Amino acid sequence: MRARRSPPATESPPVTLALDQTRAEAKADHAGIRRWLWIVAALVFLMVVVGGATRLTGSGLSITEWKPITGALPPLSADAWAEEFGKYRASPQYQLLNEGMSLGEFQFIYWWEWGHRQLGRFIGLIYLAGFLVVALRRLLPARQVVTLFGMGLLLGLQGAIGWIMVASGLQPGMIAVAPVKLTLHLTFAGLFFASVVAFATALTPLRRVEPPRGRASAWLLLLLLFVQVALGGLVAGSKAGFTFNTWPLMDGALVPPGSQLFAQTPFWENFVDNVALVQFNHRLGAYVLFAVALWNVLRLRRAAPGSGSAKRSTAIAGLVLAQSALGIVTLLLVVPLWAGLAHQALGFAVLAMGVVHVTRTEQAARP
């Protein structure tokens, strides 16, 4: 009986070729998904800046209705502008703060709020289109598709919170939105932004193997960053940045007296509406955040010198220091538009770096 000839050693089995092709396609799919997610993250970052401009220009209450579909069209005639202006003139903000405003002045604040809402609609469409492509083409495992769906729900919830925030400012006697609702709006924007950055980072291959160090401190930094964003939202909502415009002292004291910090009743309202305590908490949060960021740098540089985690922690500490300096400048100048926007934008840049740091640290810790 003749022995069967084995195939030449140089031939590649069909299974191997198919596997290589599948991996190449998955790699290309991941690159496309990453581009989509980074575009969404950039748009959310822009949305935060535009939202800050809307707040600082007093434009947020200029549109008194929430019409998700028909509201996309602005007034297109003189009669339509007159009708829209009439709705605003019936609002408490106009009657208590802006009485006598001209149509041209109203149009200025209207366009800021309209642009803010349009950008929100655009982000929703971009996210929905990308999600449908990923889901229908099955470009990711089911678990990750479910995660993306949950992120989409978070985006929708953020839009609903935005209207709840605006509605709070249209109540009798109100001339601005409620600080707590503004803080929720900003915090949920940060949560969605962080989830997009984390997902995009997780899909990006590691360039080198990193030592699994600093997981707890990375999460602590991220938690403190979110707390500081929330405290900043309370400062913005209560307009606390327009008072106590000195540093490092507040009204001549490093720590204001308790009678000033807790002057309101009930006790908990001081943390929301008392501008002295709101600003003091934001200052204190910045000190704690920078101290933890600096401690993390020193610890990682000793434990894992030259590692990616040490370099990222150094970058975070530098950004926190720059953000703190910008916050001081913003306070001393009594919140000019450019400084307020730069402070808010840099805050989200630091948040993004904190998310990347946590994601990469978690990837390094996996077996």
User: Mind listing the pLDDT tens digit for each residue in 150-207?
Assistant: 999 999 999 999 999 999 999 999 999 999 999 999 999 999 999 999 999 999 887 7
SS3 at position 334: coil
How is residue 23 written in tokens? 């991996």
Residues 230 and 187: beta-carbon distance below 8 Å: yes
Choose between 71 and 171: higher pLDDT: 171
334 contacts: CB under 8 Å, gap ≥ 6: 241, 242, 245
- Read off the pLDDT of residues 318-330 as tens digits, 9 standing for 90 and up: 999 999 999 999 9
Of 193, 189, 214, give the one whose Cα is nearest residue 292. Answer: 214
Q: Model pTM?
A: 0.90
pLDDT over 50 at 266, yes or no: yes
pLDDT at 18: 47
> Quick check: helix, strand or coil at residue 129?
helix
Q: How many other C-beta atoms can be found within 10 angstroms of the C-beta atom of residue 114?
A: 21
At 5, the pLDDT band (50, 70, 90 cuts) reads: low
Beta bridge partners of 253: 250
Cα–Cα distances in Å, from 295 out to 299, 322, 327, 356, 363? Answer: 6, 17, 21, 19, 22
pLDDT in the model for residue 11? 47
Q: What angle do CA 341, 343, 346 make, to 5 degrees?
A: 105
Pick from 38, 20, 216, 50: nearest CA to 127:
38
Q: Are 106 and 88 in contact (CB under 8 A)?
A: yes
Structural contact between residues 339 and 182, judged by C-beta atoms closer than 8 angstroms: no
> Is residue 306's pLDDT more than 80?
no
CA distance 11 to 5: 13
Give me 18's structure tokens: 């198919």
Q: How many residues does the chain have?
A: 367
d(CA 314, CA 294): 8
Query: Which pLDDT score, from 0 to 100, does residue 28 have?
Result: 66
Pick from 25, 363, 37, 29: nearest CA to 200: 37
Enumerate residues 6+ apart whose C-beta is below 8 A from 245.
331, 332, 334
Average pLDDT of every residue of the chain = 90
pLDDT at 311 exceeding the cut of 50:
yes
As a 3-state breakdown, the chain gives helix, strand, coil percent values, each rounded to 5, of 75, 0, 25
Residue 8 is classified by DSSP as: P
Answer whether residue 335 shows pLDDT above 70.
Answer: yes
pLDDT band at 27 (very low <50, low <70, confident <90, very high): low
Rounded Cα distance between 46 and 51, Å, is 8
Assign 19 a pLDDT band (cuts: 50, 70, 90): very low
Contacts 24+ apart (CB under 8 A), 77-85: 81/107, 84/110
**Backbone phi, psi, residue 250, to 5°:** -115, 110
pLDDT at 357 (0 to 100):
94
pLDDT for res 12: 52
DSSP letters of 306-322? TSHHHHHHHHHHHHHHH
CB distance 240 to 290 below 8 Å = no
pLDDT band at 217 (very low <50, low <70, confident <90, very high): very high
In 169-252, alpha helices (H): 179-202, 215-238
Per the CB < 8 A criterion, the answer to whether 123 and 47 are in contact is yes
